[in-house]
């Protein structure tokens, strides 16, 4: 007898979509999340989350010394905080933890890939037109997205974004209505997962400065960010069929002889100490622990014989979406690089001769002291790199290793774009050194480990619905919208063809 019909592991973009759609279909579902809930306590104060300006244990997942890039070595209390920082080789991978997963840490950037690049990465069985007409808009409507309004863009907080927009215009980039307007250069203002009325209240002093203060990595204390606990997960719980269990750290997944799956769980407290253990069983199992979390669980399950039929593609096709960070310094304008939120306007450099690339402004609080002249722009640049790495299992240490080095050509593409803007507008471009991303994707790719609906080959009723099934790239745009939209498509098919309410 199974304890529940479906288990979902992880409450980020893939897991939240799965939970809502299973709940709406009347499937009794348990969502297991290792982190805690983060309800906004007093939006007039920095009462809920840690901030860059006042780092504490709430910032990081179970670190007693900070590993946040640029803040390394600061002592903090060990706590089930928002950001897990995984060091793999000389690279740092960031993962959002807690109810809402990566949405707790994200910048609210929900941007749609263009057709030409989507078709280069995803299986041909996934029609772009269907994604464009049904699944991308569906995610936007549930999260409730909107483009940055003019009055906010014109404020001092977004001065750097205005400068970036003006520089791109002067460098010959035209305004385009959509990120899917052909593979030509453009400037696009796209819908964000940000509540702009709350941002206005921050600007008016009615809420604590948070979005406008570039505080997004550890959560937004004003409530200005549209995290998944406010939309998908709230709706999932309201169906009455979905139970979210926090502090449930999944340590093992296995098939059970009578059919279905067993999930071993450490129940932890806020300090990460194990205070109980459980094995939970279900007929249907949805893997949504994020790219690294899901790959680690599945690889261990394969090598230990718990999920023996997972095929040998597992671990392959890992990528970082060509994520780099480029500065432009010594500009002639004041840019307030420590203020405002990230994204909102994208510089689409699809005509980049190295790789199609996309640039967005990425403010950080520390730039206030790093660059007292406030004359720089810090930007994420994502490049359409074919470069991939892979996970492997090390028996001696019983750990899953990640063999990945970033693509030097992705950095060249970013450098090219930053220099193109500086050629026409002034400023200097220091060499790009970035070795940090939150955009890890792949390792359990669709068309290899699972089909284009997340069904794992060899293991009926086992599904992958998070970033690990995306084939290593979300086509040089931030991945959250694509992960959620693909999960929506998976759930539509799985619910229609595989799952019957009992």
Ligand X SMILES: Cc1cc2nc3c(=O)[nH]c(=O)nc-3n(C[C@H](O)[C@H](O)[C@H](O)COP(=O)(O)OP(=O)(O)OC[C@H]3O[C@@H](n4cnc5c(N)ncnc54)[C@H](O)[C@@H]3O)c2cc1C
Contacts with ligand X by CB under 6 A lie at: 9-15, 32-35, 94-98, 101-102, 105-109, 217, 248-250, 288-291, 293, 343, 438-439, 466-467, 478-481, 483
State the minimum distance, in angstroms, from the CB of residue 248 to ligand X: 6
- What values do phi and psi take at 358, rounded to 5? -135, 135
For residues 412 and 354, the answer to whether their CB atoms sit within 8 Å is yes
The residue among 111 and 414 lying less far from ligand X, judged by its C-beta, is 111
State the minimum distance, in angstroms, from the CB of residue 484 to ligand X: 8
State the minimum distance, in angstroms, from the CB of residue 320 to ligand X: 11
- What values do phi and psi take at 14, rounded to 5? -70, -45
The residue among 225 and 427 lying less far from ligand X, judged by its C-beta, is 225
State the minimum distance, in angstroms, from the CB of residue 259 to ligand X: 23
State the minimum distance, in angstroms, from the CB of residue 193 to ligand X: 8
State the minimum distance, in angstroms, from the CB of residue 94 to ligand X: 3
- Its sign, for the CA torsion 432, 381, 480, 490, is negative
**Whole-angstrom distance, CA of residue 342 vs CA of residue 18:** 27
Nearest-CA neighbor of 245 among 19, 36, 83?
Answer: 36
The residue among 32 and 429 lying less far from ligand X, judged by its C-beta, is 32
The residue among 51 and 422 lying less far from ligand X, judged by its C-beta, is 51
State the minimum distance, in angstroms, from the CB of residue 305 to ligand X: 20
The residue among 427 and 479 lying less far from ligand X, judged by its C-beta, is 479
Strand partners, 486: none
The residue among 98 and 363 lying less far from ligand X, judged by its C-beta, is 98
The residue among 32 and 242 lying less far from ligand X, judged by its C-beta, is 32
The residue among 286 and 416 lying less far from ligand X, judged by its C-beta, is 286
State the minimum distance, in angstroms, from the CB of residue 459 to ligand X: 18
Alpha helix locations (H) across 122-158? 128-130, 136-143, 150-153
For residues 380 and 325, the answer to whether their CB atoms sit within 8 Å is yes
**What does each C-alpha distance from 40 to 37, 49, 236 come to in angstroms?**
10, 8, 19
**Whole-angstrom distance, CA of residue 6 vs CA of residue 259:** 13
Nearest-CA neighbor of 139 among 225, 39, 226?
Answer: 226
The residue among 214 and 480 lying less far from ligand X, judged by its C-beta, is 480
DSSP output for 53-106:
TB--GGGBBS-SB--STT-TT-B----B-SEEEEEETTEEEEEE-STTGGGGT-
Buried residues in 268-279 as b, exposed as e (16+ CB within 10 A): bebebeeeeeee
End-to-end C-alpha distance for the chain, whole angstroms: 13
The SS3 of residue 294 is helix
């Amino acid at each position: 007898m199974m304890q529940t019909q479906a288990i979902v592991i992880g409450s980020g973009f893939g897991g939240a979509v799965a939970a809502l759609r299973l709940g709406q279909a009347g499937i009794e579902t348990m969502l297991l999340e290792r982190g805690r809930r983060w309800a906004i306590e007093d939006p007039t104060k920095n009462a809920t989350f840690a901030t860059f300006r006042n780092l504490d244990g709430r910032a990081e997942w179970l670190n007693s010394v900070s590993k946040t890039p640029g803040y390394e070595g600061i002592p903090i209390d060990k706590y089930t905080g928002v950001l897990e920082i995984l060091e793999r080789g000389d690279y740092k991978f960031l993962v959002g933890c807690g109810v809402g997963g990566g949405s707790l840490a994200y910048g609210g950037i929900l941007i749609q890939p263009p057709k030409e690049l989507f078709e280069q990465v995803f299986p041909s069985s996934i029609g772009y037109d269907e994604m464009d007409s049904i699944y991308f808009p569906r995610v936007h409507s549930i999260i409730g997205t909107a483009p940055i309004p003019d009055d906010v863009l014109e404020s001092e907080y977004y001065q750097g974004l205005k400068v970036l927009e003006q520089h791109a215009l002067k460098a010959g980039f035209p305004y385009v209505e959509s990120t899917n307007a052909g593979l030509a250069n453009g400037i696009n203002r796209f819908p964000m997962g940000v509540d702009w009325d709350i941002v206005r209240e921050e600007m008016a002093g009615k809420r604590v400065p948070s979005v406008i203060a570039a505080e997004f990595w550890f959560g937004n204390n004003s409530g200005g960010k549209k995290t998944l606990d406010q939309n998908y997960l709230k709706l999932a719980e309201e169906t009455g069929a979905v139970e979210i269990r926090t502090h449930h750290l999944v340590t093992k997944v296995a098939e059970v002889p009578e059919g279905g799956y067993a999930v071993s769980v450490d129940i932890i407290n806020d300090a990460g100490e194990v205070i109980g253990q459980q094995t939970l069983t279900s007929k249907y199992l949805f893997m949504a622990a994020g790219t690294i979390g899901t790959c680690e669980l599945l690889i261990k399950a394969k090598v230990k014989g718990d999920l023996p039929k997972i095929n040998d593609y597992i671990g392959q096709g890992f990528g970082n979406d060509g994520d780099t960070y480029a500065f432009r310094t010594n500009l002639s304008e004041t840019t307030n690089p420590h203020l405002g939120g990230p994204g909102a306007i994208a510089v689409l450099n699809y005509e980049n001769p190295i790789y199609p690339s996309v640039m967005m402004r990425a403010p950080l609080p520390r730039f206030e002291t790093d660059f007292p002249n406030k004359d720089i722009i810090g930007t994420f640049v994502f490049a359409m790199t074919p470069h991939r790495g892979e996970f492997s299992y090390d028996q001696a240490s019983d750990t899953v290793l990640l063999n990945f080095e970033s693509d030097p050509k992705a950095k060249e593409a970013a450098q090219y774009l930053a220099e193109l803007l500086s050629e026409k507008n002034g400023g200097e471009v220091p060499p790009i050194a970035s070795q940090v991303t939150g955009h890890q994707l792949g390792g359990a790719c669709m068309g290899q480990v699972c089909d284009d609906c997340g069904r794992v080959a060899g293991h009926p009723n086992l599904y992958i619905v998070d970033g690990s099934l995306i084939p290593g790239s979300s086509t040089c745009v931030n991945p959250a919208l694509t992960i959620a939209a693909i999960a929506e498509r998976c759930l539509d098919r799985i619910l229609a063809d595989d799952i019957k309410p009992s």
